[in-house]
Amino acid sequence: MEIRVNATRQELTRLKARVRMAKRGHKLLKDKRDQLMKEFLAIVHESQRLRQELEKKLSLAYKSFSLARAVLSPPALEEALMVAGGPEEVSISYRHIMNVVVPEMYITGRSPAQGSQPEEGRVMLPTYGLASTSSDLDDALAQFRGIMPLLVRLSCIERTIQLLADEIEKTRRRVNALEYVLIPELEQAVKDVEMRLEEMDRANASRLMKIKDIVRAH
């Protein structure tokens, strides 16, 4: 959309200030977008790595569970799993990446490195009798427990990716709007005003020359 302004010197000064400001903003937003992209790519790589690790661990856990299931009769397995294990508490905090608020989640009392290991001094009591189950079930459940911190970490990373992608998209639109719309329009407006002012100067000069000629003729 064309910017309509009065062709005055004051307006020209104001427009030039706006161009300077827009260019500065454009540079800053471009820097922000680049930095966001850098962070985004690093997190995407981390997500890919975690996803691969998770898929590997999940497939092993499911395999262990299939073996446990094979050895136990379905009623024995169902009975053993009637009671869920103790609840896991997830703590959430927030951090800022280029002014984007992203969540940080972790299972209370367990760092991702701890995996299936319970926190120190805490014994994970099985919720089933040991006489009617097999060690395959212990192994499978321990593996699933070990996956929990990874799952929480991955969900946190995926949310971060979503938020960063939204912010990158917004910043990209702003950068493009400045680069391809506002700055060219402002520059065009400056050019128009300058041309108009120059034209006005020329008209004044020719008018003055004409007046001089008339005065001289008399």
The binder of other proteins chosen from 1, 2, 4, 75 (CB under 8 A)? 75
* Cβ–Cβ under 8 Å, residues 39 and 217: no
Shortest Cβ distance from residue 70 to other proteins (Å)?
A: 4
| Burial class of 105 by CB neighbour count within 10 A (0 to 12, 13 to 18, 19+) | middle
Told to check if 129 binds other proteins by CB under 8 A, we report yes
| Burial class of 210 by CB neighbour count within 10 A (0 to 12, 13 to 18, 19+) | exposed
Length of the chain: 218
Told to check if 123 binds other proteins by CB under 8 A, we report yes
Report the SS3 class of residue 131.
coil
Told to check if 59 binds other proteins by CB under 8 A, we report no
Shortest Cβ distance from residue 146 to other proteins (Å)?
A: 14
Distance of CA 15 to the CA centre of its chain: 34
Sign of CA dihedral 61, 64, 69, 70: positive
115: left (phi over 0), alpha (psi -120 to 50) or beta: left
Q: Which stretch binds other proteins (CB under 8 A): 18-26, 64-72, 108-116, 163-171?
A: 64-72
Q: What is the 3-state secondary structure (H, E, C) of 69-81?
A: HHHCCHHHHHHHC
Q: Which stretch binds other proteins (CB under 8 A): 60-68, 95-103, 106-114, 201-209?
A: 60-68
Nearer to other proteins, 22 or 137 (CB): 137
Distance of CA 63 to the CA centre of its chain: 35
Nearer to other proteins, 62 or 106 (CB): 62
Shortest Cβ distance from residue 99 to other proteins (Å)?
A: 45
Number of residues engaging other proteins in binding (CB under 8 A): 30
Enter the tokens of residue 123.
Answer: 């014994």
Q: What are phi and psi of 66, to 5 degrees?
A: -60, -40
Binding-site string for other proteins from residue 134 to residue 173, where x marks contact by CB under 8 A and - marks none = xxx-xx----------------------------------
Nearer to other proteins, 111 or 132 (CB): 132
Told to check if 205 binds other proteins by CB under 8 A, we report no
Q: Which residues bind other proteins (CB under 8 A)?
A: 62-63, 66-67, 69-71, 73-76, 78-79, 82-83, 123-132, 134-136, 138-139
